[in-house]
Structure 1
Amino acid sequence: MAATVKYDEVEVGQRLPAVEYPVRRLNLVMYAGASGDFNQIHWNERFAKTVGLPDVIAHGMYTMAQGGRFVTDWAGDPAAVVDYGVRFSSMVVVPGDDAGATITVSGVVEEKLADKRVVVGLEATSGDAHVLSKARAVVQLA
Protein backbone atom coordinates (compact mmCIF):
# COMPACT_ATOMS: atom_id res chain seq x y z
CA MET A 1 0.00 0.00 0.00
CA ALA A 2 1.17 3.53 -0.77
CA ALA A 3 2.16 5.97 1.93
CA THR A 4 -0.80 7.92 3.29
CA VAL A 5 -1.38 11.14 1.34
CA LYS A 6 -1.54 14.27 3.52
CA TYR A 7 -4.06 17.05 2.87
CA ASP A 8 -1.42 19.80 3.17
CA GLU A 9 0.68 18.15 0.43
CA VAL A 10 -2.13 18.13 -2.16
CA GLU A 11 -2.92 21.01 -4.52
CA VAL A 12 -5.95 21.67 -6.72
CA GLY A 13 -5.02 20.72 -10.26
CA GLN A 14 -2.51 18.11 -9.14
CA ARG A 15 -2.45 15.21 -11.59
CA LEU A 16 -2.37 11.65 -10.32
CA PRO A 17 -0.29 9.42 -12.61
CA ALA A 18 -2.14 6.92 -14.75
CA VAL A 19 -2.22 3.27 -13.73
CA GLU A 20 -3.01 0.38 -16.06
CA TYR A 21 -5.15 -2.52 -14.84
CA PRO A 22 -5.07 -5.62 -17.06
CA VAL A 23 -8.38 -7.44 -17.51
CA ARG A 24 -8.44 -11.10 -18.45
CA ARG A 25 -11.41 -13.43 -18.76
CA LEU A 26 -10.26 -15.14 -15.58
CA ASN A 27 -10.71 -11.83 -13.72
CA LEU A 28 -14.28 -11.64 -15.00
CA VAL A 29 -15.10 -15.21 -13.97
CA MET A 30 -13.68 -14.53 -10.51
CA TYR A 31 -15.70 -11.29 -10.30
CA ALA A 32 -18.83 -13.15 -11.39
CA GLY A 33 -18.34 -15.55 -8.49
CA ALA A 34 -17.81 -12.73 -6.00
CA SER A 35 -20.71 -10.59 -7.26
CA GLY A 36 -23.16 -13.33 -8.22
CA ASP A 37 -23.50 -11.82 -11.73
CA PHE A 38 -23.06 -14.83 -14.02
CA ASN A 39 -24.53 -13.19 -17.14
CA GLN A 40 -22.92 -14.99 -20.06
CA ILE A 41 -21.93 -11.73 -21.79
CA HIS A 42 -19.14 -11.51 -19.22
CA TRP A 43 -17.50 -14.87 -19.93
CA ASN A 44 -18.95 -16.64 -23.00
CA GLU A 45 -17.68 -15.22 -26.30
CA ARG A 46 -20.16 -17.12 -28.46
CA PHE A 47 -23.12 -15.92 -26.39
CA ALA A 48 -21.87 -12.32 -26.25
CA LYS A 49 -21.59 -12.21 -30.03
CA THR A 50 -25.05 -13.73 -30.55
CA VAL A 51 -26.58 -10.83 -28.59
CA GLY A 52 -24.74 -8.26 -30.72
CA LEU A 53 -21.67 -7.51 -28.62
CA PRO A 54 -18.22 -7.43 -30.22
CA ASP A 55 -16.92 -9.95 -27.65
CA VAL A 56 -17.09 -10.61 -23.92
CA ILE A 57 -17.43 -7.39 -21.90
CA ALA A 58 -16.35 -6.60 -18.37
CA HIS A 59 -19.00 -6.08 -15.70
CA GLY A 60 -19.74 -2.39 -15.24
CA MET A 61 -19.19 -2.70 -11.50
CA TYR A 62 -15.83 -4.40 -12.14
CA THR A 63 -14.82 -1.40 -14.25
CA MET A 64 -16.04 0.98 -11.54
CA ALA A 65 -14.06 -0.98 -8.95
CA GLN A 66 -10.82 -0.30 -10.83
CA GLY A 67 -11.44 3.44 -10.38
CA GLY A 68 -12.03 2.89 -6.68
CA ARG A 69 -8.86 0.82 -6.48
CA PHE A 70 -6.93 3.66 -8.13
CA VAL A 71 -8.14 6.16 -5.52
CA THR A 72 -7.53 3.92 -2.51
CA ASP A 73 -4.05 3.00 -3.78
CA TRP A 74 -3.27 6.72 -4.17
CA ALA A 75 -4.71 7.77 -0.79
CA GLY A 76 -3.05 4.89 1.03
CA ASP A 77 -6.11 3.97 3.06
CA PRO A 78 -9.21 2.21 1.70
CA ALA A 79 -11.36 3.78 4.42
CA ALA A 80 -10.39 7.21 3.07
CA VAL A 81 -12.94 7.14 0.23
CA VAL A 82 -16.12 8.63 1.70
CA ASP A 83 -18.09 9.06 -1.55
CA TYR A 84 -17.64 7.64 -5.03
CA GLY A 85 -19.78 7.71 -8.11
CA VAL A 86 -19.49 7.19 -11.86
CA ARG A 87 -21.53 6.95 -15.02
CA PHE A 88 -20.81 4.16 -17.44
CA SER A 89 -20.03 5.57 -20.86
CA SER A 90 -18.65 2.63 -22.83
CA MET A 91 -17.92 -1.08 -22.53
CA VAL A 92 -14.61 -2.74 -21.72
CA VAL A 93 -14.33 -5.36 -24.43
CA VAL A 94 -12.19 -8.33 -23.36
CA PRO A 95 -11.17 -10.28 -26.46
CA GLY A 96 -9.66 -13.76 -26.25
CA ASP A 97 -8.65 -15.67 -23.19
CA ASP A 98 -5.05 -14.49 -23.41
CA ALA A 99 -5.29 -11.12 -25.18
CA GLY A 100 -7.48 -9.43 -22.61
CA ALA A 101 -7.92 -5.71 -22.24
CA THR A 102 -6.52 -2.87 -20.16
CA ILE A 103 -8.35 -0.27 -18.11
CA THR A 104 -6.23 2.87 -17.67
CA VAL A 105 -7.22 5.18 -14.82
CA SER A 106 -5.82 8.63 -14.07
CA GLY A 107 -7.02 11.46 -11.90
CA VAL A 108 -6.79 15.08 -10.92
CA VAL A 109 -7.45 16.82 -7.61
CA GLU A 110 -10.38 19.08 -8.48
CA GLU A 111 -11.20 20.65 -5.15
CA LYS A 112 -10.05 20.86 -1.54
CA LEU A 113 -12.91 20.75 0.94
CA ALA A 114 -13.18 21.34 4.66
CA ASP A 115 -12.24 18.62 7.13
CA LYS A 116 -9.21 17.53 5.06
CA ARG A 117 -11.30 16.13 2.22
CA VAL A 118 -10.52 16.42 -1.48
CA VAL A 119 -12.51 15.75 -4.65
CA VAL A 120 -10.66 13.62 -7.18
CA GLY A 121 -11.93 13.50 -10.74
CA LEU A 122 -11.11 10.30 -12.59
CA GLU A 123 -10.65 9.37 -16.20
CA ALA A 124 -10.90 5.72 -17.17
CA THR A 125 -10.25 4.41 -20.66
CA SER A 126 -9.96 1.08 -22.39
CA GLY A 127 -8.42 1.28 -25.82
CA ASP A 128 -9.78 4.46 -27.38
CA ALA A 129 -13.01 4.40 -25.35
CA HIS A 130 -13.76 6.46 -22.26
CA VAL A 131 -15.41 3.81 -20.10
CA LEU A 132 -16.39 5.96 -17.12
CA SER A 133 -17.68 9.52 -17.15
CA LYS A 134 -18.47 11.92 -14.33
CA ALA A 135 -16.28 9.75 -12.13
CA ARG A 136 -15.61 11.51 -8.83
CA ALA A 137 -14.39 10.44 -5.42
CA VAL A 138 -14.40 12.39 -2.18
CA VAL A 139 -11.37 11.32 -0.18
CA GLN A 140 -10.58 11.96 3.50
CA LEU A 141 -6.86 12.65 3.82
CA ALA A 142 -4.55 12.71 6.82
Structure 2
Amino acid sequence: MSRRPAADVAVGDELPPLTVRLGRADLVRYAGASGDFNPIHWDEQAALAIGLPGVVAHGMLSMAQAARVLTDWAGDPGAVVEYSVRFTKPVVVPAAPDVAELVVAGRVTEVLDGGRVRVELTATSAGVKVLGQARAVLQLA
Protein backbone atom coordinates (compact mmCIF):
# COMPACT_ATOMS: atom_id res chain seq x y z
CA MET A 1 0.00 0.00 0.00
CA SER A 2 1.46 3.40 -0.88
CA ARG A 3 0.64 6.72 0.69
CA ARG A 4 -0.83 9.62 -1.21
CA PRO A 5 1.92 12.16 -2.07
CA ALA A 6 1.58 15.37 -0.05
CA ALA A 7 2.58 17.42 -3.08
CA ASP A 8 -0.67 16.39 -4.79
CA VAL A 9 -2.91 17.79 -2.03
CA ALA A 10 -4.41 21.28 -1.61
CA VAL A 11 -6.79 22.99 0.77
CA GLY A 12 -10.34 22.33 -0.39
CA ASP A 13 -9.62 18.92 -1.88
CA GLU A 14 -12.58 16.61 -1.35
CA LEU A 15 -12.07 13.04 -0.19
CA PRO A 16 -14.22 10.48 -1.98
CA PRO A 17 -17.39 9.90 0.04
CA LEU A 18 -18.20 6.55 1.55
CA THR A 19 -21.57 5.00 2.34
CA VAL A 20 -21.51 2.20 4.89
CA ARG A 21 -24.56 -0.02 5.35
CA LEU A 22 -25.00 -1.23 8.93
CA GLY A 23 -27.41 -3.97 9.88
CA ARG A 24 -28.10 -5.53 13.23
CA ALA A 25 -25.90 -8.50 12.38
CA ASP A 26 -23.01 -6.02 12.03
CA LEU A 27 -23.76 -4.76 15.53
CA VAL A 28 -23.69 -8.29 16.93
CA ARG A 29 -20.34 -8.95 15.23
CA TYR A 30 -18.94 -5.68 16.57
CA ALA A 31 -20.21 -6.50 20.07
CA GLY A 32 -18.34 -9.79 19.93
CA ALA A 33 -15.14 -8.13 18.74
CA SER A 34 -15.30 -5.22 21.19
CA GLY A 35 -16.86 -6.91 24.20
CA ASP A 36 -19.56 -4.21 24.33
CA PHE A 37 -22.77 -6.19 24.78
CA ASN A 38 -24.92 -3.29 25.98
CA PRO A 39 -28.47 -4.30 25.01
CA ILE A 40 -29.16 -0.91 23.38
CA HIS A 41 -27.09 -2.26 20.47
CA TRP A 42 -29.29 -5.32 19.85
CA ASP A 43 -32.52 -5.19 21.91
CA GLU A 44 -35.27 -2.85 20.69
CA GLN A 45 -37.09 -2.82 24.05
CA ALA A 46 -33.93 -1.99 26.01
CA ALA A 47 -33.16 0.90 23.65
CA LEU A 48 -36.71 2.27 23.78
CA ALA A 49 -36.83 1.93 27.59
CA ILE A 50 -34.05 4.48 28.00
CA GLY A 51 -35.46 6.92 25.46
CA LEU A 52 -33.57 5.97 22.33
CA PRO A 53 -35.49 5.82 19.04
CA GLY A 54 -34.48 2.18 18.57
CA VAL A 55 -31.41 -0.02 18.46
CA VAL A 56 -28.32 2.12 17.89
CA ALA A 57 -24.88 1.38 16.49
CA HIS A 58 -21.91 1.46 18.82
CA GLY A 59 -20.34 4.92 18.74
CA MET A 60 -16.88 3.49 18.24
CA LEU A 61 -18.15 1.43 15.30
CA SER A 62 -19.49 4.59 13.67
CA MET A 63 -16.22 6.39 14.38
CA ALA A 64 -14.17 3.55 12.91
CA GLN A 65 -16.30 3.34 9.79
CA ALA A 66 -15.93 7.10 9.28
CA ALA A 67 -12.14 6.73 9.52
CA ARG A 68 -12.24 4.51 6.44
CA VAL A 69 -12.64 7.67 4.34
CA LEU A 70 -9.28 8.84 5.68
CA THR A 71 -7.42 5.56 5.28
CA ASP A 72 -8.85 4.85 1.81
CA TRP A 73 -7.86 8.32 0.60
CA ALA A 74 -4.42 8.38 2.22
CA GLY A 75 -3.63 4.87 1.00
CA ASP A 76 -2.30 3.70 4.37
CA PRO A 77 -3.99 3.27 7.78
CA GLY A 78 -0.70 4.34 9.38
CA ALA A 79 -1.09 7.78 7.83
CA VAL A 80 -3.65 8.78 10.48
CA VAL A 81 -1.69 10.48 13.27
CA GLU A 82 -4.60 12.28 14.98
CA TYR A 83 -8.33 11.56 14.87
CA SER A 84 -11.16 12.79 17.04
CA VAL A 85 -14.92 13.11 16.86
CA ARG A 86 -17.81 14.19 19.01
CA PHE A 87 -20.83 11.92 19.00
CA THR A 88 -23.84 14.14 18.25
CA LYS A 89 -26.64 11.67 17.43
CA PRO A 90 -26.82 7.89 17.34
CA VAL A 91 -26.98 5.82 14.18
CA VAL A 92 -30.36 4.07 14.49
CA VAL A 93 -30.22 0.58 13.00
CA PRO A 94 -33.59 -0.89 11.95
CA ALA A 95 -34.56 -4.54 12.18
CA ALA A 96 -33.47 -6.87 9.39
CA PRO A 97 -33.68 -6.91 6.48
CA ASP A 98 -33.38 -3.11 6.60
CA VAL A 99 -30.08 -1.36 7.30
CA ALA A 100 -28.88 2.06 8.36
CA GLU A 101 -26.65 4.02 6.04
CA LEU A 102 -23.74 6.03 7.39
CA VAL A 103 -22.58 8.56 4.80
CA VAL A 104 -19.13 10.07 5.32
CA ALA A 105 -17.26 12.71 3.33
CA GLY A 106 -14.11 14.70 3.99
CA ARG A 107 -12.30 17.82 2.93
CA VAL A 108 -8.71 19.02 3.34
CA THR A 109 -8.83 22.15 5.50
CA GLU A 110 -5.13 22.80 6.00
CA VAL A 111 -1.80 21.75 4.55
CA LEU A 112 0.73 21.57 7.37
CA ASP A 113 4.52 21.32 7.36
CA GLY A 114 6.26 18.01 6.85
CA GLY A 115 3.72 16.42 4.53
CA ARG A 116 0.85 16.55 7.00
CA VAL A 117 -2.70 17.65 6.22
CA ARG A 118 -5.71 18.42 8.38
CA VAL A 119 -9.04 16.94 7.25
CA GLU A 120 -12.58 17.55 8.45
CA LEU A 121 -15.21 14.87 8.06
CA THR A 122 -18.97 15.00 7.86
CA ALA A 123 -20.97 11.94 8.85
CA THR A 124 -24.73 11.59 8.54
CA SER A 125 -27.31 8.86 8.86
CA ALA A 126 -30.87 9.29 7.63
CA GLY A 127 -29.98 12.90 6.86
CA VAL A 128 -28.96 13.61 10.48
CA LYS A 129 -25.43 14.62 11.49
CA VAL A 130 -24.12 11.84 13.74
CA LEU A 131 -20.51 12.93 14.26
CA GLY A 132 -19.48 16.46 15.06
CA GLN A 133 -16.07 18.05 15.16
CA ALA A 134 -14.71 15.07 13.23
CA ARG A 135 -11.12 16.01 12.48
CA ALA A 136 -7.92 14.24 11.59
CA VAL A 137 -4.30 14.92 10.80
CA LEU A 138 -2.71 12.65 8.20
CA GLN A 139 0.95 12.13 7.43
CA LEU A 140 1.23 11.84 3.67
CA ALA A 141 4.26 10.71 1.66
Which TM bucket (shorter chain)? over 0.9
The Cα shift of 1:4 comes to: 2.9
Aligned to 1:30: 29
Taking the TM superposition and a 5 Å limit, the aligned residue runs for 1:70-81 are 70-81=69-80
The Cα shift of 1:50 comes to: 2.3
Q: Distance in 1 between matches of 2:83 and 2:12?
A: 19
Taking the TM superposition and a 5 Å limit, the aligned residue runs for 1:37-116 are 37-116=36-115
The Cα shift of 1:102 comes to: 0.5
Check conservation: 2:16, 2:69, Cα contact below 8 A: no
The Cα shift of 1:66 comes to: 1.1
Q: Distance in 2 between matches of 1:99 and 1:127?
A: 13
Unmatched 5+ stretches in structure 2? none
Confirm or deny that 1:13 pairs with 2:12: yes
Aligned to 2:121: 122
Q: Distance in 2 between matches of 1:98 and 1:119?
A: 38
SS at match of 2:103: strand
Alignment-mate amino acid for residue 76 of structure 1: G
Unmatched 5+ stretches in structure 1? none
Q: Distance in 2 between matches of 1:66 and 1:56?
A: 18
Provide, for residues 27-69 of structure 1, a one-character-per-residue CA deviation record: whole Å limited to 9, x for no partner: 1111111111100000111221222221100011111111112
Q: Distance in 2 between matches of 1:126 and 1:29?
A: 19
The percentage of counterpart residues that share the same residue type is 53
The Cα shift of 1:16 comes to: 1.3
SS at match of 1:58: coil
Alignment-mate amino acid for residue 37 of structure 2: F
TM-score, length of structure 1 as denominator length: 0.95
SS at match of 1:115: helix
SS at match of 2:135: strand
Q: Distance in 2 between matches of 1:85 and 1:51?
A: 27
SS at match of 2:45: helix
Alignment: residue pair count: 141
